[in-house]
């Protein structure tokens, strides 16, 4: 059947006509805008055969439908492949970054304090905090990260946490100067014991029998390690015991004040990056005061080591690694979970201990070595017990 089309209005009315059973009429009746446009395009070209129009429209619609289906299939396959690849590589890559940053940080601090015989641990902490703050501000400037605005209300809430944080860093620095890396990692297990006791009395959170058994093994390993340590140093052990109390106190205080701190922000939340910036920024003025009180500034000005370029390279690297630990730990925790994070943290002490003994030529007896190994496995047993 052939029809003469005189104008666009006549064409559209003819397509809408109930007597016309073509594809065009059906498409318009069903309010299919895309097909309607295709019909309208053919009509504007003065195509005089409604059958030809219907055939072209059908062919075009089928082609579009097939293309959309094919595109959807490919999009789905790509998304599935990307998701599958991300699920496999994410936890592995984040775990490797966390382990490398954690190991390197401890070893570099040991190099600065013992290798270069640098006796200004507070000054080193001040420089590391300064490096962290500068990097975070640069990242925020380029909108790579977002942080909460520092208000006086938030600062007042955070000062108790920050004071403990400073004490934790300073005692950690001085303990590393006098004690070998392997024994530091074993003695750090004492932090878990203090934290567990604190949770019991402050948060009324009990632990199962396996956890208490693991904690007892940690005490045994620490005592045996101290007795058999050929390079035992009373001052170093004192600093490390203080570090354990302050580290546990930091964790418990942070948990207790977190809700209050979130309420003190404008957004009502406080992310990990903001906490890193807050801790490092607030530490700088307190560190300056401590440097003046302990006369470290005079020592630093006269020290020959600060004139060595490699010293500044290592010190700067340790500051960058401190920031890397903060980011990689958050990334790894997000990719896996608290249990895996805790277990990997315990396993991570093994390469740190081995590297510390080999790199710094630490004299180790058979008894001391067995105590170190026993303490490492006690840490792994503790992480596994926390999972159950």
Q: Could you tell me the two tokens for 227?
A: 């007795």
Q: Could you tell me the two tokens for 388?
A: 């159950």
Residue 338's pLDDT is what? 55
The domains of the chain are located at 28-85, 88-387
Q: Could you tell me the two tokens for 377?
A: 């496995």
Residue 19's pLDDT is what? 45
Residue 241's pLDDT is what? 93
Residue 20's pLDDT is what? 45
> What does the longest C-alpha to C-alpha distance in the chain come to?
108
Residue 4's pLDDT is what? 42
CB contact at 8 A, 8 and 43: yes
SS3 2: strand
CB contact at 8 A, 126 and 166: no
112 secondary structure, DSSP code: I
Distance (Å, whole) CA 93 – CA 82: 15
Tokens 């009746």 -> residue = 29
Mean pLDDT per block of 10 residues along the chain (388 residues) reads: 43 44 44 50 50 53 50 50 56 82 85 86 92 92 86 89 91 88 85 85 82 86 84 89 91 84 84 85 93 88 89 91 80 66 69 81 82 83 75
Q: How far is CA 364 from CA 182, 294, 367, 375, in A?
A: 10, 34, 8, 15
Q: How far is CA 125 from CA 74, 166, 170, 319, 326, in A?
A: 53, 9, 7, 8, 15
Q: Taking the complete model, does pTM exceed 0.85, yes or no?
A: no
């Amino acid at each position: 059947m052939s029809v003469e089309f005189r104008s666009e209005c006549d064409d559209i009315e003819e397509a809408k006509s109930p007597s016309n059973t073509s594809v065009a009429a059906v498409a318009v009746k069903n309010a299919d805008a895309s097909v309607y446009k295709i019909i309208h395009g053919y009509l504007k070209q003065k195509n005089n055969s409604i059958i030809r129009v219907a055939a072209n429209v059908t062919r075009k619609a089928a082609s579009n439908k097939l293309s959309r289906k094919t595109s959807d299939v490919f999009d789905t396959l790509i998304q599935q492949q990307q998701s599958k690849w991300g699920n496999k590589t994410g936890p592995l890559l984040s775990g490797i970054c966390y382990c490398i940053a954690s190991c390197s940080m401890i070893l570099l601090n040991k190099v600065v304090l013992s290798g270069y015989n640098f006796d200004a641990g507070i000054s080193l902490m001040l420089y590391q905090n300064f490096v962290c703050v500068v990097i975070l501000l640069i990242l925020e400037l380029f909108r790579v990260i977002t942080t909460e605005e520092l208000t006086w209300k938030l600062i007042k809430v955070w000062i108790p946490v920050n004071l403990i944080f400073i004490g934790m860093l300073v005692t950690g620095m001085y303990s590393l100067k006098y004690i070998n890396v392997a024994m530091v990692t074993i003695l750090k297990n004492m932090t878990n014991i203090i934290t567990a006791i604190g949770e019991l009395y402050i948060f009324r959170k009990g632990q199962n029998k396996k956890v208490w058994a693991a904690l007892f093994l940690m005490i045994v390993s620490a005592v045996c390690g101290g007795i058999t340590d050929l390079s035992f140093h009373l001052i170093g052990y004192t600093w490390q015991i203080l570090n354990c109390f302050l580290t546990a106190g930091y964790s418990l205080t942070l948990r207790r004040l977190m809700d209050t701190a979130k309420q003190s922000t404008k957004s009502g939340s406080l992310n990990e990056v903001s906490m890193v910036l807050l801790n490092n920024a607030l530490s700088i003025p307190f560190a300056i005061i401590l440097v003046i009180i302990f006369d470290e500034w005079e020592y630093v000005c006269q020290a020959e080591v600060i004139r060595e370029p490699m010293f500044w390279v290592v010190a700067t690297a340790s500051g960058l690694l401190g920031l890397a630990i903060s980011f990689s730990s958050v990334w790894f925790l997000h990719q896996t979970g608290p249990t895996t994070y805790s277990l990997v943290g315990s396993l991570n002490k093994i390469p740190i201990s081995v590297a510390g003994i080999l790199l710094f030529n630490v004299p180790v007896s058979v008894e001391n070595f067995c105590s170190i190994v026993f303490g490492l496995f006690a840490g792994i047993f503790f992480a596994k017990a926390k999972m159950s």
